Structure 1
Amino acid sequence: MKERLEAAFPSLLEELTQLVAIPSVSSDPAHAADVERSAEHIRERFAALGLEAKVLRETAADGTEGKPALVAHTPHIEGAPTVLLYAHHDVQPVGELSRWSMDPYKAEVRGDRIYGRGSSDDGAGITVHLGSLSILGEDLPVNVVVFIEGEEEIGSPSFTAFLDAHKDELAADVIVVTDSSNWKVGEPAVTSTLRGNAIVTVDVTVADHAVHSGAFGGPLLDSVAISSMLIASLFDEKGDVAVPGLGGSDHADVDWPEEELRAAAGMVEGLQLAGSGDIAARMWTKPSISVIGFDARPVSNASNTIAPHTRFRLSMRTVPGVDPTEAQAKLVDYLLSHAPFGARIEVTTEDAGAGYQADMDSPVTKALHESLTEAWGVPSVNIGVGGSIPFISDFQRIFPNAQVVVTGVEDPLTNAHSEDESQSISDLKAAILAEALLLTRVASL
């Protein structure tokens, strides 16, 4: 199998280069045609491997048309288990082009890394699926369903409708989600936990119209200052989330060195870390709250005026195993009961997605660990991921008997969603081998 991988890998790396060249930004209507082109391109690649491949879409709950998704099936093997391989073909916008060191849609290899938008998230995941099926060929011992969606980066709005409409052809005994991360470059991992996410929008009002800051400043605090106080109240003196009843653990299975965290996050010198407990636990098994949007008057348009109204949006990462809707309700209650100086606080709940806890004792999880260890040549570890993959709960709801495992090819240097996104080439090769080994092992479980 390793010899087949060595022979096939140059063409697989070229395939990833072609994926990078398609700006399949699902959040931008200007790239709608590119998202379509991406789906068709991937359909052709899986069809070339002998799979029955088609592009499908469904309508989301709000009535909007979903983005194109690929569904492909290998020739049926009677009596063999079925494995669903998941990835997504849409990508994030590139942001500030000036912050990239190269054209984000022209893949560039530097040493052991390939750079470009989608080179890792999730073009690498697609390449892993193509690669594992390529090197197994006619020796594939299981039935495989490939499901590659086109709207993961915008929250998969039609995902539930898609699963409901196509549950028969997506039904599987094992679901492999390849959209996560490894522990380090050269050190593979099984994702044991994912935090959930709950979002709220907060409106803060202090007056019915703007007034002069010289005439009324003092007794009347502006809505920006009030908002800042309210946000600050969400954290205790250590920087832990102060909202009660959200759960969490201070301990993690692995140690995340502080210097590595600082380098990966690009923290400014002298900034202290917030929170208590193991560093990894603060990001994996404890709640966090981030301000992801804030409406205020720009400095360039500043005037001596007290702002009467301010709006901001919070993203709360919830503890694995905690109901995100219940956690969201506790956040709402906290905000309403901590209004500084009696300001009018209105909270609108937005999305709430569940976290994930792997069944670490399942035969599939153990087989995944064995496959990763064999492919990389070093022991795989269990890691949590601070981010969310909310649609996993949809998989578990619609396919309650399926065993779901989460893995990936990203690493702390990937810069997913940021400039100069990149993928370790050696890890990509190992991930392809690991998935092929896993498919082989699943056949005998």
Structure 2
Amino acid sequence: MTPEQIENAVSAQMPQAVEELKRLVAIPSVAFPGHPEEPVRAAAAMVEELLRGAGLPEVRQIPVEGSFPAVYGESPAPDGAPTVLLYAHYDVQPAGDPALWRTPPFEPTLIDGELYGRGAADDKSGVLTHILALRSFQGAFPVGIKVVVEGQEEYAGERLEAYVEKNPDLFRADAIVVADTGNPSVGDAAVTTSLRGLAAFTVEVRSLSESVHSGSFGGPAPDALAALIRMLASLHDEHGDIRVPGLPRGVFLGEGPSDEEFRAVAGVLDGVALTGSGSLADRLWASYAITITGLDVPTVKGAINAVQSVARARVTVRVPPAGDPGVAAKDVVEHLRQAAPWGVRVEVTDQVLGSGYLADTGGRARAALNRAMERAFGKAPRDIGAGGSIPLVATLIRQFPAAEILLYGAEDDGAAIHAPNERLVVDELQRAATAEALFLLDYGTL
């Protein structure tokens, strides 16, 4: 095939692909505990259907212990051609408060070329990026193809990773494409060369055998919620820099967003300052960050006048590529224990760890991707970091140190992933899929 034929093939598929993405987004495949399992398995079945229709001779679901199945597809390499592993995930974040969504989170809605719905970008766009690219070749792939679409990336920690370690030959490849990142802005071609790792845990504070009346006992009775607030507040100084010993600020050797760009994309309110010090690239991609992502406390609505006996928080630590998530979690937990007032009891549970990643950018596959993205986007891609984590990447690096790992995708910083009103720009999906197909063609003919 020629590059022109690739471009035409992807373009012709777009109406069908948008309808398929709508079907996939409509499935609430939230793989978090407490959510129904049936939709997650329905999403796996649809991904299996899509891969079968993309021309792969072998497609199956593979069981992952303690998790949902991954969907796997394979086509052998032509003689002398390299093999490429394509990765995405079909599970999604919970929708959160439906009142914060302008359209229902699992009723995908197309508005002015943007598809709204939970998972439209993260990462069901990655699934359709692979499907569009593969279909363009009508089964005659220029390289060997392996595809793995995971079913519990958003929550489970390192479960598929354990399967990869036990079954390395199933995933062995010369290049690995991870379609679970994106560009700083729509059309601004970029390849993610740095990922922060992740350490997350739940901290519980107990001070009383049960909550008691605040009028009768308030004052001397230790309030678990107040204790937890003091502990969490101790994690940062007045500027927003981390106070935990052992978590230094790092440096990212590349260009990050301006303050104005970041404020606009993040929706920072007028008059509210950005937190921390150092460049934005340093803070976003090369340094530790600690976020309180959830609290189990009484709600304001219906609150009673009581001194609280127990309070819980979910703490997430983003870890720079060279950092150790386990050590970071230990350091933060120790800091919280030291900050706990009044002798309250502190328990830490439900810890999840994921390693970071730093790419080598000088290989044959990256050169092919650069050419493909320049043609698809009209500009050569630049290197960026990502503050998020993809636990599987570190495992793939350990298992296949000679493989090149390429991270890009159809998302952008305005896609509101993990937030209300997540959306995908349809034209960005077409550009990402075109780039992937052109990459496969180029990489197979070098």
**Shared topology, TM-score over 0.5?**
yes
How far the C-alpha of 1:212 sits from its partner, in A, is 4.8
Which residue identity does 1:248 align to in structure 2?
A: R
The residue that corresponds to 2:200 in the other structure is 199
Structure 2 counterpart of 1:316: 317
CA shift for structure 1 position 276: 0.6
Secondary structure of the residue aligned to 2:200 is strand
Is residue 239–residue 275 contact of structure 1 (8 Å, CA) maintained in 2? Answer: yes
Cα shift at 1:215: 5.3
- Measured in 1, the distance between the counterparts of 2:433 and 2:393 equals 22
Supply the distance in 1 between the matched residues of 2:22 and 2:429 (Cα, whole angstroms).
Answer: 13
Q: Secondary structure at the match of 2:278?
A: coil
The answer on 1:3 being equivalent to 2:8 is yes
SS at structure 1 position matched to 2:179: strand
What secondary structure is seen at the aligned counterpart in 1 of 2:188?
coil
Structure 1 residue 59: deviation in Å? 4.3
Aligned partners of 1:229, 1:147: CA distance in 2, in Å?
A: 44
User: For residue 63 of structure 2, what is the amino acid of its counterpart?
Assistant: E
Query: Is residue 55–residue 68 contact of structure 1 (8 Å, CA) maintained in 2?
Result: no
**Structure-1 separation of matches of 2:35 and 2:201:** 28
Q: 2:39 is matched by which residue type in structure 1? A: D
TM-score of the two chains, using structure 2 as the length reference: 0.90
Q: Find the counterpart in structure 1 of residue 443 from structure 2.
A: 442
Distance 1:279 1:76, change over 3 A: closer
- Please name the residue that 2:154 is paired with: 153
Give, as a single letter, the amino acid of the residue that structure 1 aligns with 2:282. A
Indicate the SS of the match to 2:229: helix
Q: Distance in 2 between matches of 1:345 and 1:48?
A: 52
User: Quick check: 202-211 or 396-405, which moved more?
Assistant: 202-211
Letter in 1 for 2:13: A
**Cα pair 1:189 1:383 within 8 Å, conserved:** yes
Counterpart in the other structure of 1:256: 257
Q: Classify 1:310/1:52 alpha carbon distance in 2 versus 1 (closer, same or farther; 3 Å).
A: same
Choose which of 49, 62, 81 in structure 2 pairs with 1:57. 62
Write the distance in 2 (CA, Å) between the matches of 1:136 and 1:414.
Answer: 29
1:45 CA displacement: 2.5
RMSD: 2.5
Looking at structure 1, the residues matched to 292 and 47 of structure 2 have their Cα atoms a distance apart, in angstroms, of 36
Aligned mates of 1:18, 1:203 — CA distance in 2: 40
Which residue pairs with 1:189 in the alignment?
Answer: 190
TM-score under structure 1 normalisation? 0.90
Instruction: Find the partner of 2:51 among 46, 53, 66.
Output: 46
44 and 344 in structure 1: CA distance in 2 versus 1, 3 angstrom threshold: closer
Aligned to 2:18: 13
Q: After TM superposition, give the deviation of residue 214 of structure 1 in Å.
A: 4.6
Q: CA deviation at 1:300?
A: 3.9
Q: Match for residue 379 of structure 1?
A: 380
Q: Would the aligned equivalents of 1:174 and 1:402 in 2 still touch at CA under 8 Å?
A: yes
Is 1:117–2:122 an aligned residue pair? no
Per-residue CA shift, 1:74-100, capped at 9, x if unaligned? 244232211000011222333333333
**2:284 is the counterpart of 1:283:** yes
- 1: distance between equivalents of 2:389 and 2:189? 19
Give the Cα–Cα distance (whole angstroms) in 2 for the partners of residues 212 and 32 of structure 1. 40
Q: Do 1:4 and 1:135's aligned partners in 2 also have CA atoms closer than 8 Å?
A: yes
1:209 positional shift: 5.1
| Paired residues for 1:20-419 under 5 Å | 20-27=25-32, 31-60=36-65, 64=66, 66-137=67-138, 140-155=141-156, 158-208=159-209, 210-214=211-215, 217-218=218-219, 221-251=222-252, 253-348=254-349, 350-419=351-420
Quote the offset at 1:328 in angstroms: 1.4
- Of the structure 1 ranges 349-358 and 243-252, higher mean CA displacement relative to structure 2 is found in 243-252
Shift in Å, 1:348? 4.2
Q: Deviations over 1:399-418 (max 9, x none)?
A: 33322221111112212223
Equivalent position of 2:3 in the other structure: none
Work out the number of aligned pairs and report it: 441
- Of residues 173-182 and 163-172 in structure 1, the stretch that sits farther from structure 2 once superposed is 163-172
The answer for the alignment partner of 2:423 in structure 1 is 422
Q: 1:20 offset after TM fit, Å?
A: 2.3
- CA positional deviation for 1:322: 0.6
- Over 3 Å counting, the alpha-carbon distance change for 1:14 and 1:53 in structure 2 is farther
1: CA distance, partners of 2:199 / 2:127: 28
Deviation at 1:3, TM superposition (A): 2.5
1:43–1:53 contact (8 Å) kept in structure 2: no
Q: Is the 8 A contact 1:193 1:385 kept in 2?
A: yes
State the distance in 2 between where 1:150 and 1:57 align.
10
CA contact (8 A) 1:328 1:349 kept: no
Residues 101, 307 of structure 1: alpha-carbon distance in 2 compared, 3 angstrom cutoff: closer
Which range moves more in the overlay, 186-195 or 409-418?
Answer: 409-418
Aligned-residue offset at 1:30: 6.1
2 CA distance for matches of 1:315 and 1:337?
18
Q: State the SS of the aligned residue for 1:169.
A: helix
Q: Shift in Å at residue 290 of structure 1?
A: 1.1
Asked if the contact 1:187–1:379 (Cα under 8 Å) also holds between the matched residues in 2, the reply is no
Q: Report deviation, 1:342.
A: 4.6
Stretches of structure 2 that go unaligned for 5 or more consecutive residues are: 1-5
Amino acid at match of 2:317: M
Give the conservation status (yes or no) of the 8 Å contact 1:192–1:358.
Answer: yes
Q: CA deviation at 1:31?
A: 4.3
Q: Deviations over 1:2-60 (max 9, x none)?
A: 22222233322232233223333323676433333322222223223321233323242
Q: 1:230 to 1:93 in 2, by over 3 A?
A: closer
- SS of 2:260's partner is helix
Name whichever of 20-29 and 136-145 sits farther off.
20-29
Kindly provide the amino acid, as one letter, of the partner of residue 95 in structure 1: G
Shift of 1:372: 1.6
Distance change >3 Å, CA 158–CA 48, structure 1 → 2: same
Distance 1:22 1:336, change over 3 A: closer
CA distance in 2, matches of 1:187, 1:211: 56
What whole-Å deviation, never above 9, does each CA across 1:315-357 have from its counterpart, x for those lacking one?
A: 1111111111111122122222233355444444711211111
Matched-pair contact (CA < 8 Å) for 1:108–1:115: yes
Q: In the alignment, residue 90 of structure 1 is paired with which amino acid?
A: D
After TM superposition, give the deviation of residue 426 of structure 1 in Å: 1.6
1:226 Cα deviation from its structure 2 partner: 2.0
